[in-house]
């Protein structure tokens, strides 16, 4: 079957436990996920939601696998834009693997269809979110407060 997949890998100087907590703590998440956060119990079968700063549910689904602090699999369906929602369920896998003094975080986001618009859209977001998360864990502050800094600079 045709499939669209994006893979993102970053190495973060931290421990798997701290990284797991950064990926699952709603308050901490807002600092690197541009104000968004997840609502979830983080156990297999529990519902999962990605919520915007204004409380809008952007994506929803459930936890397929949760194995702290190693592996998390989310069934992920977009809720906001009709063309993305129509593509159905995608699957986001997060794997944490210690490498020396760092943790290799691999995120694989895929959907069982060719040329997915959803996967294309998330592919712009994930690198920024992960880069922010890395800076936050390693230096204590996120680099980007705004996902589109150039656009803001032009508007200002």
The binding site for another protein (CB under 8 A) comprises 5-11, 13, 99-100, 102, 104, 106, 108, 123, 126-128, 130-131, 134-135, 143-144, 149-150, 153-154, 156
Query: Between residues 27 and 150, which has the closer beta carbon with respect to another protein?
Result: 150
Give min distance, CB of 31 to another protein, in A: 16
Give min distance, CB of 126 to another protein, in A: 8
Sheet order of strands, 90-99 included: 4-12, 102-111, 90-99, 71-78, 57-67, 47-51, 37-40
Query: Between residues 52 and 135, which has the closer beta carbon with respect to another protein?
Result: 135
Cβ(48)–Cβ(67) below 8 Å: no
Output the CA–CA distances (angstroms, integers) from residue 137 to 4, 55, 68, 79, 133, in the order listed.
Answer: 30, 26, 18, 30, 6
Give min distance, CB of 7 to another protein, in A: 4
Reading the block at residue 152, the tokens are 């803001």
Give min distance, CB of 123 to another protein, in A: 7
Query: Between residues 5 and 43, which has the closer beta carbon with respect to another protein?
Result: 5
Residues 95-128 as b/e (b if ≥16 CB within 10 A, e otherwise) read bbeeeeebbbbebebbbebeebbbbeebeeebeb
Give min distance, CB of 65 to another protein, in A: 17
Query: Between residues 75 and 104, which has the closer beta carbon with respect to another protein?
Result: 104
Query: Between residues 8 and 28, which has the closer beta carbon with respect to another protein?
Result: 8
3-state DSSP assignment of residue 128:
helix
């Amino acid at each position: 079957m045709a499939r669209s997949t994006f893979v993102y890998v970053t190495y973060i100087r931290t421990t798997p436990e701290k990284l797991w907590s950064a990926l699952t703590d709603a308050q901490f998440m807002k600092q690197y996920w541009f104000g968004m956060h997840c609502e979830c119990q983080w156990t297999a079968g529990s519902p999962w939601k990605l919520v915007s700063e204004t409380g809008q549910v952007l994506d929803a689904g459930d936890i397929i696998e949760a194995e702290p602090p190693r592996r998390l699999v989310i069934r992920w369906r977009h809720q906001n834009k009709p063309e993305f929602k129509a593509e159905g369920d995608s699957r986001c896998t997060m794997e944490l693997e210690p490498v020396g003094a760092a943790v290799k975080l691999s995120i694989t986001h895929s959907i069982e269809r060719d040329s997915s618009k959803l996967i294309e859209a998330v592919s712009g977001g994930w690198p920024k979110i992960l880069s922010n998360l890395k800076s936050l864990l390693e230096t204590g502050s996120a680099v980007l407060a705004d996902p589109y800094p150039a656009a803001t600079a032009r508007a200002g």
